[in-house]
Structures are given as C-alpha cells and as structure tokens.
Amino acid sequence: MDLWWVGAHGGAGESTLEQLLERSAAAAHAWPIMADQQAPPARVVLVARTHATGLRAAQQAATEWAAGLVAVKLVGLVLIADTPGRLPRVLRDYAQLVCGAAPRAWRLPWIEAWRSGEPVCARTAPNDVGRVLDDLRAQCTSHTT
C-alpha cells in the first residue's frame, strides 16, 4: 500500500478518497500498524470534515502523531467541506490552526454529485480533487520514507 487514509472521525471521507487514488486504502479510523517492524513507516493522510467535531478530531489525531504516539509518516491532512458554501469565520480560523499541525494540508470542496449518489471517480471529479490527488501521487513517489 502506498498510502493510508485515516479518518479522524466517522464520515470523514476516507472511503471516498480510497476510491479516488490507486494503491491507497481506508484505515478504518485507526492508525495503520505495519506487520513487518523493519518496514518503513506507513504513509498516512488524515481526513476530516470541516465541521467543529471533525476539526477537533483532526487536531487530536495530529497531536497524537506530533507527540510520537504513532509510528507513521504523516504526509498531511485533507479537510473535506461538510456543506456547500463558505465556512463561518470561527471554523475557517480553527481549520487554519489544525492545518498548521500537519506537514501539508489540502482542502476539498463539497461535491453535491457524490452526495446525490453519482459514482466517485477521479476522471470526473472536480479539478480541485485532481490537483490534490496529483500532489499526493508526487509525495508518494518522491519520498522513500
């Protein structure tokens, strides 16, 4: 596996992202543990929604990582809009703070088509999604650990 998606909370979007990026997997809201202790640490991207509960959960997960409580390589954090439109200022500010705890951060917009049941597909995803996926592919191929 090249990359694990770790949802910081239920409904974060990790299983949706798994469908979009080849050689990635949703980690079922848990830090992956490598069976081979000699293997490089798992590459992980935290995933959270932009509501207060999601941002708190992402902050807590990033704090666990920063404290050295998990043996993973945190590639970054993806925040996925929890509703269409602009975030209220208090949540924008909080999201900015939480993003600062991760090595990199990406934001994905609300995608009404996916909520309505259209297939999740990288080829038909909005350009914002494609840019994030391209960046993550580059991150996975340019770093060996």
In terms of residue numbers, what domain contains 11? 3-142
Q: Is the pTM of this model over 0.75?
A: yes
Domain with residue 138: its CATH number is 3.40.50
What DSSP string runs through 65-94? Answer: HHTT-S-EEEEEEEEE-SSSSPPPHHHHHH
Q: Name the band, by pLDDT with cuts 50, 70 and 90, for residue 142.
A: low
Structural domain count of the chain: 1
User: Using one digit for the tens of pLDDT, what is the confidence trace for 4-39?
Assistant: 999 999 999 999 999 999 999 999 999 998 777 778
pLDDT classification of 115: cutoffs 50, 70, 90 = confident
Listed in sequence order, the residues at least 6 apart from 142 whose beta carbon sits closer than 8 Å to its beta carbon are none
User: Side chain identity at 13, as an amino acid letter?
Assistant: G
